[in-house]
Structure 1
Amino acid sequence: MKRYQPPLTLTPQMLALVAEISEQVGRLTAQRSEALTPQLRRGNRIRTIQASLAIENNTLSVEQVTAVLDGKRVLGLPREIQEVRNAFAAYDAMPGWQQQRQADLLAAHALLMQGLIDDAGRYRQGGVGIYREGRLLHMAPPASRVASLMRDLLRWLGASDWHPLIASCVFHYEFEFIHPFADGNGRMGRLWQTLILSQWRPVLAYLPVETVIRDQQESYYTALAAADQAAEATPFVEFMLAALRQALQEAGQSDQVNEQVTDQVVRLLQALPPGVALKSSELMQRLGLSHRPTFTQNYLKPALAAGLIEMTDPASPRSPVQQYRRKSL
């Protein structure tokens, strides 16, 4: 019996993106071989989770997601807080999964959707569609076909000799086309693409490409619809490869910025003794700064992103009485 092969047309744009991304991944791997500290990994993972859930209308900010994972009290909907905890557990378990194993895919969905839907970890039993602002974008295949379609897709993934960058994007599209679960398909598709990429190059386990997708959400859904219309993954693969390229460019820029602001972060820590909490205006005064954007971009944000300082009220990041203190490591 002939094995399933997802329809795809290789385009010059696709091949150029694969070459450029491969080169960027090589540079990033060299830069981060020692620089990817546990704090930076955690910071990137938090951004990934927040962005992936934001695409699904979760309203928690990066600061609130961080607070949830730190076990702090957060003012938010119980469902949204549960989504954060589940997502962190799923990404944490990712290194133990094999991309082509159905049992691992179902286990991942069970973790992602635990306490959120009744059939977490099981394929859907009814019809489902993708809706955007009340408009039907895609009607998924009937539930009776889901098991066989997923079996064929996972078999193809395990045996494919396509470049992992292309294979991961194709899988992401085909997974969303099948829409195998009653809920959680979007975040599962993004999680599984990250798994595929991380097994090609480990540094990609901590690349928050979801932040790019969140910022280009309309284009993401447009690419899915275009692929449906073309009856092949090509438009979606081109979109996702471009998103990966942008995420890698931003990661490289972030590394350069981190090097440039080291002195500023050190100065901020010197102005903030252990056990002391200060407002941003008080910190600026201690540092002799009067330009708030410079303070925010070069001092405050890098120190927060590195996990060196924290907010006293992370549930209300823009509170006028917000203070900052050194974080206990």
Structure 2
Amino acid sequence: MLKLNQIVTITPKIQKLLHTIEGQRIAYNLIPIKPEIIQNLRRKSFLFSALYSARIEGNKLTPESYEHNPEDLEKLEIQNLLDVYTWLPNQEHISLNIDFIRLLHKKSMQNLRTDAGHFRTEQSAIFNSAGVAIYLTPPPTEIRPLLTNWLKLINNSPYLPLISAIIAHYQFEKIHPFLDGNGRIGRLILTILLKQAGHNYIDLLGLEKMIENTRSTYYYHLESTKNDLTQFVQYFLTLITNSITNLLTTITTPQSTISHLPPRRQELLATITDHSPCSADFLYRRFLAIPKSTLRYDLQQLQKAGLIHKLGTTRGALYSI
């Protein structure tokens, strides 16, 4: 049977990241944020979480194409996840157990798979891009015993809840209880565990976007069979730190800075905020009456003001808040 005995060494780097995250958590709790701003941030974060969680698994839709894409399976994948991310905060006192895990899968995979909400009943494997099996999952008969043990380990972990949640995410992916959808369910569970650990801002971060941007590193760690998860924990803590930094920047940006922008730049910033990340071509199509050279200058000025970020340097670069 699969052994769930992974270990983590609390290195100076991890200790520093933990201190940084704790400081960020305190800072977030001390910042007075209007309810409407939280609501707007959560709405955008849920969409990004759903979209990028699906993209991690191979969905090709982007924030730009999702809005205009006709109803198809790829859009349904994202809509299902968006419904689940929106549903979760309204559930009081979530008890993470086998039935709840199956419920998450049923909601996430409804109308996509006939086995939605059911554990796999056959052997499966994880394949790399070349079609080579790199991991043979546990037999179906071991799924329930493994999940039962996994839940006990979460509740009795010797590690801090933040680290325990990351370890649990790795272990869940190794158990691989479903034929499809394990990644998205694992990331939903990670969100639940982090929130239960006192990180109330977690559903504002859109961690899935960060994961998608570092997908090769994410899968490198998940595909590893090493017992020592120190590097994976360090990778994930870095993602969380960077995500919180972006969130704090967003909620502490003086509204006066935005209100003093020329109306065209305010509209441009609002468009990037609603469709982040988006390409220059997308923005050119949105502002057809404005010369491209003028839009490029506006984008540069928004970057200098720290209101947007440019991802990449080629023509395919994206702009993000």
Query: What is the aligned counterpart of 1:208 among 203, 206, 209?
Result: 206
Is 1:239 the counterpart of 2:240 in the alignment?
A: no
Partner of 2:79: 85
Query: What is the aligned counterpart of 1:94 among 66, 88, 94?
Result: 88
Q: Which amino acid in structure 2 is aligned with residue 21 of structure 1? A: I
Unaligned runs of 5+ in 2: 269-284, 309-315, 317-321
Partner of 1:30: 30
How many residue pairs get aligned? The number is: 282
Is 1:293 the counterpart of 2:296 in the alignment?
A: yes
For the structure 1 residues 8 and 120, does the alpha-carbon distance in structure 2 shift closer, same or farther, using more than 3 Å as the test? same
Q: 1:1-329 residue pairs with structure 2 within 5 A? A: 6-12=5-11, 13-31=13-31, 33-34=33-34, 36-65=37-66, 67=67, 74-76=68-70, 78-95=72-89, 96=91, 98=94, 100-133=96-129, 134-160=131-157, 162-199=159-196, 200-226=198-224, 228=225, 230-257=226-253, 259=255, 261-263=257-259, 267-268=263-264, 279-282=286-289, 284=290, 291-296=294-299
Q: CA deviation at 1:56?
A: 1.0
Q: Which amino acid in structure 2 is aligned with residue 263 of structure 1? A: S
Q: CA deviation at 1:185?
A: 0.6
Unaligned runs of 5+ in 1: 68-73, 273-277, 306-317, 319-329
- TM-score in terms of structure 2 length: 0.77
8 Å contact 2:4–2:171 — kept in the other structure? no
Q: Which amino acid in structure 2 is aligned with residue 28 of structure 1? A: Y
Q: CA deviation at 1:182?
A: 0.7
Q: Distance in 2 between matches of 1:234 and 1:17?
A: 13
Secondary structure at the counterpart of residue 46 of structure 1: helix
Q: CA deviation at 1:281?
A: 4.3
8 Å contact 1:60–1:76 — kept in the other structure? no
For residues 176-230 of structure 1, give each alpha carbon's deviation from its aligned partner in whole angstroms, at most 9, with x where no partner exists: 111111100111111110111122222112211111111111111111233x1x2
Q: CA deviation at 1:132?
A: 2.5
8 Å contact 1:268–1:299 — kept in the other structure? no
- TM-score in terms of structure 1 length: 0.75
Secondary structure at the counterpart of residue 87 of structure 1: helix
Q: Distance in 1 between matches of 2:254 and 2:65?
A: 23
8 Å contact 1:176–1:186 — kept in the other structure? yes
- Alignment identity in percent? 24
8 Å contact 1:197–1:204 — kept in the other structure? yes
Q: CA deviation at 1:83?
A: 0.5
Q: CA deviation at 1:298?
A: 6.4
Q: Distance in 2 between matches of 1:48 and 1:262?
A: 26
8 Å contact 2:53–2:208 — kept in the other structure? yes
For residues 2-26 of structure 1, give each alpha carbon's deviation from its aligned partner in whole angstroms, at most 9, with x where no partner exists: xx97421322132222221111222
8 Å contact 1:209–1:247 — kept in the other structure? yes
For the structure 1 residues 202 and 291, does the alpha-carbon distance in structure 2 shift closer, same or farther, using more than 3 Å as the test? same
Q: Distance in 2 between matches of 1:271 and 1:219?
A: 36
Runs of 4+ in 1 over 6 A off after TM superposition: 269-272, 297-300
8 Å contact 1:47–1:208 — kept in the other structure? yes
For residues 151-175 of structure 1, give each alpha carbon's deviation from its aligned partner in whole angstroms, at most 9, with x where no partner exists: 1111222344632210110110000
Q: CA deviation at 1:100?
A: 2.6
Q: Distance in 1 between matches of 2:51 and 2:141?
A: 33
Q: CA RMSD in A?
A: 3.1
Secondary structure at the counterpart of residue 137 of structure 1: strand
Q: Distance in 2 between matches of 1:102 and 1:184?
A: 16
8 Å contact 2:69–2:75 — kept in the other structure? no
Q: Distance in 1 between matches of 2:45 and 2:18?
A: 23
Q: Which amino acid in structure 2 is aligned with residue 85 of structure 1? A: Q
For the structure 1 residues 266 and 155, does the alpha-carbon distance in structure 2 shift closer, same or farther, using more than 3 Å as the test? farther
8 Å contact 1:209–1:244 — kept in the other structure? yes
Q: Which amino acid in structure 2 is aligned with residue 88 of structure 1? A: L
